[in-house]
Chain A
């Protein structure tokens, strides 16, 4: 089973920031936190990943707590095209990804 816990669904107004939480209380010191999203009927799309420090790229920001037991993915200005299922994944050393149920983000006009 996946070692992460996410809310099943969230809503966000278009143009506002979307903050998606994830709990990973059993994460090991050398395991990364990865975020992917999946738009209906497409393959998962990589968003961002991090180990200890906060990370930012052109798509999103990732905030990881100091104890690494939780993280938040931030989409700074959500658009309707950001409506998707967002997966938070703690990555095993072998590289395989263990997906949970994810959070369905609905961006509303």
Chain B
């Protein structure tokens, strides 16, 4: 399978715990995006990387959120001190360049109890 993969697919955690999600983009795609989707809403942009550089962060990305792409390949999204409002689907997408089509992974569904 050469598509975007995300792990885990589901995560249940208790409020206050830290969680980390991983995204593996399509091989050789240098752009990687993170989005968040709550129930009944369209996905919302969080941040994106060009290679290992994080070029834009949405104001939705509070101080508790951090994303990395250390070697310009896979990326991780960490949420510290989770809150119930963090419950959502976290989506990753990748593209070859700025003007290229983004392809999405299956998402990680987070439930904060």
Chain A positions near chain B (C-beta within 8 angstroms): 2, 34, 36, 41-46, 49, 85, 87, 93-102
List B contacts of A45 (CB < 8 A): 104
Contact flags B81-107 to A (C-beta < 8 A → 1, else 0): 000000001010101001111111111
Most buried by B among A43, A99, A100: A43
List B contacts of A94 (CB < 8 A): 48, 55-56, 98
Q: Which of A41, A49, A95, A99 contacts B43 (CB 8 A)?
A: A99
A-B contact count (CB 8 A): 59
Whose C-beta in chain A lies nearest to the C-beta of B9?
A41
Once the chains bind, are A42 and B107 in contact (CB under 8 Å)?
A: yes
Once the chains bind, are A93 and B98 in contact (CB under 8 Å)?
A: yes
Once the chains bind, are B106 and A42 in contact (CB under 8 Å)?
A: yes
Most buried by B among A85, A96, A98, A101: A96
If A93-B98, A95-B95 touch, whether A87 touches B104 (CB-CB below 8 Å) is no
Once the chains bind, are B104 and A43 in contact (CB under 8 Å)?
A: yes
Contact flags B21-65 to A (C-beta < 8 A → 1, else 0): 000000000010101000001111100100000011000000000
4 other A-B residue contacts (CB within 8 Å) besides A41-B89, A95-B95: A43-B93, A43-B105, A101-B42, A102-B42
List B contacts of A100 (CB < 8 A): 42
Distance, CA A101 to CA B40, complexed state (A): 8
Distance, CA A2 to CA B44, complexed state (A): 10
